[in-house]
Each structure stands twice: as structure tokens, then as C-alpha cells.
Structure 1
């Protein structure tokens, strides 16, 4: 991967890139309130399941589907699939709002024009148009995904920042492994068994006290 490409990708997936990721916990807030996640070990176990068996693997597939789409119909199919596989109304809103913010910012910062797409689809398509290599895009997207949830955990549990970084460090190699696992898979392979995470996302909508939007 060229240094220039790595810097572009690092910018797009940085917390400083204004997609609003800090406002979402991806259902983790419910798990913390229920006492299912309460420290670094339980957080890591939760995120491992989400990475391998839930949103993580699915999003990596969606990034690739958008990247390899040969025409607008295939891109539209990837986006429609992303919307259909959102496990809750808040999960769908999360993907749509982050996608809209990403497309607006990537247009202003890099001159890349995209239609209104769910976030992983928008990122995959932008990476293709910027001629970034797919494999590191998938892996670094997953790292940014879990990094955002770890950041939410630091505020929710509360978890110390050092322990949060330790969890993220242990998860980082798995991001590359999940990206490699789904390589070559397509939209027909979307699915998941991270049921606790999905149910937590659904129940988040009814919490009496909420710090996050999902």
C-alpha cells in the first residue's frame, strides 16, 4: 500500500473525520446497563462476536460489494442489502446518517461524488474511486468500527483509556483476520448470529436513560 493511499484511508477513518461516529454505541449501551459488559474482558468478548459473527463481517462484505460493483445497479443492490440487514431502526439510522456525513465530507475534501449510501457502502465505493487497495480498506474499516465502540465503552462502563487501548490492541489482529475470512464473499453470504448484539440494538430504543443514539 502506497504511503499516500494509507494517509487518505487514515484520514477517512480517523475520529476527526466528521461522520458522527462518537454518537453511536451500536447497542453496547444496552449491554452495559444490563450488566452483560462491565470490564475489558467482557467488552473484548462482546466485540469479538460482533466482529466475527455480526456487523463486522457483514460490513466488510458490503465494503467489498460496493468496491467491486460494475455499475449503478450493483451499487444500488449493495446499498439495499445494507439497509435490509440492519438489525434495528437505530442501526439503520446510524448507517444512513454516517453515510450521508461521509459522502458530504469526502466530496468537500477529496472531490469524490457519491450518491446517498449506507456508510460501509459509501466507504467502499469511495475507496474504489480513489483507487485504494481493497484489503487494507476492509481491515482498517473494521478497526475504526471497533475503536468507536471501545471509545463508547470508556465512557459507559466506565473503562480506563489505557485498558480501552489494550482491548483495541488485542482486537486489531482479528480485524485483519475477519477481512481475510470474508475475502471473495458476496451479498449472498450476508447474515449473522450475534443475536445478543442485535437484540441489544433493538432494546436500546426503549431505554429510559441514553447517552448514545444507538
Structure 2
């Protein structure tokens, strides 16, 4: 692991910040439908849901694709970037899950292209980003990590942290949970991220998976849920 400089440390904090203008706060990734189905009644059930999402969906799926994309951006392999981006889009099982990936991806791309003082974001990277349609959140996040000079493991940790923080914030609003209970979940699950990252690093991209049929069913139900706070 490379020691972070002041510039890369600032970039890492910005990329992991909850204030990043990508609209992640408007998505619960199936949690709202799970609440209506009676699966999220208290803090314990909410933490189990979040922990399972990280372990069974994020680590063996999204994180594995992110690592492959980070390598492709580093190698300037445009064909591999396009292929992996298409694979990620294809893994979204419902319209809402695809909406979440593409909407946050477009927003992050807009943020990255407008970001000042990003000398590693050259013409080639900009052209590749603009041509990715539909663009996924994971693809742009991997590009951002390379363009901002962030260490691979640190940047993947930031990706996991952003997801974890968003899921906890959704649980606080939905279950509902107190802020202290939410912070306790955030702390416990954040301590699991290094092990989950190691798990992702050991999986070849050809074996990436996010098999969670019940999540797909819940997400599909959310599309017609009578009352809801979140877009997915």
C-alpha cells in the first residue's frame, strides 16, 4: 500500500464523503420493500440485512468488478472497460436497481469531469467516460480512484464505506432507528470491510456474483409499493 499524500488523502475523503452529489441518499436498495414485507422490525434485523448485503452482494460482486475496472483504467484498456461496464449493467435484476446504478454513475461522472486540479484525468480518460452509456457507478468510481491517484485498497474501502453509510442512513429513516443505534451499526460493520475487501481480492472477475433472488423480488415489489420514501 502506498502512503497517501496530502492530495490523495483529500481526494479519498472527498470520494467517500456523504456530501458527494450523486443522489445515493434517495435509494435504499430494496430495504424499503423489506420493511413493508416485515423483515426489518428492529435494529438487530436491520444490521443483519446490511451485513448480508455487504457479504453476499457487494464483496463477491460489485467489489470484484471494481477491482477489475480499476486495473483496466490503470492499463488504459478501453475495450475491457466497456465490457466490464456492460457486465455490471446486466447484473442489475430490476429496473430500480439499474436506475440506482446508472443515476449515481452519471452524477459521479459529471462530478469527476468538472473536478478542478485533477491532472491525471487526461483526454483519454475523459473520452472513455463520456462514451460509456449506460454508465455504471462502479465504472466511474474506479476511474475516479485512478485519476485522483488513490491507492487501490483505500479506494475500494471508500466504495464499501459509501454503501454502508447509505444503507445505515436508510435504516435510520425507515425502521426507524435512533442516531446512536445507527452509528453503532456503522462502526461494527465498518470494521468488517477489510476482511470483505480481502474476500473480493481473492475472487476472479469471471466468478463475480450477486445471487440474491429475494432481493430482486423485493426490489420489483418496491416499484409498485403504495407509499415509499426511496426511489429503489
How far apart are 1:92 and its partner, in Å?
A: 0.6
Runs of 4+ deviating beyond 6 Å: none
Q: Which residue of 2 aligns with 1:147?
A: 165
Task: State the Cα distance separating 1:166 from its structure 2 match.
Answer: 0.5
| CA displacement at 1:73 relative to structure 2 | 0.4
Structure 2 contact 15–158 (Cα < 8 Å) conserved:
no
Segments of 5+ residues of structure 2 without an aligned counterpart are none
Considering only aligned residues, what root-mean-square deviation do their CA atoms show, in Å? Answer: 1.5
CA distance in 2: counterparts of 1:140 and 1:57, whole angstroms: 16
Q: TM-score, normalised by structure 1?
A: 0.94
Q: Relative to structure 2, which stretch is displaced further, 84-93 or 176-185?
A: 176-185
Residue deviations 1:55-106, cap 9 Å, x none? Answer: 3431111211111013110000110011011121111110001000001011
Aligned partners of 1:7 and 1:196: how far apart in 2? 39
On the 8 A contact 1:99/1:119 being kept in 2, the answer is yes
Query: 1:184: Cα distance to partner?
Result: 4.6
Long gaps (5+) in structure 1: none
After TM superposition, the structure 1 = structure 2 runs for residues 12-161 of structure 1, keeping only pairs within 5 Å, are 12-69=15-72, 70=75, 71-110=77-116, 111=118, 112=121, 113=126, 114-115=129-130, 116=132, 117-161=135-179
Residue in 1 aligned with 2:206? Answer: 188
Give the length in aligned residue pairs.
214
- Greater C-alpha radius of gyration: 2
Match of 1:206, SS state, is coil
Provide the C-alpha distance between the structure 1 equivalents of 2:36 and 2:155, rounded to a whole number of angstroms.
33
Which range is displaced more, 193-202 or 162-171?
193-202
Q: How far apart, CA to CA, are the structure 2 residues paired with 1:177 and 1:140?
A: 14
1:206, 1:176 → 2: CA distance? 37
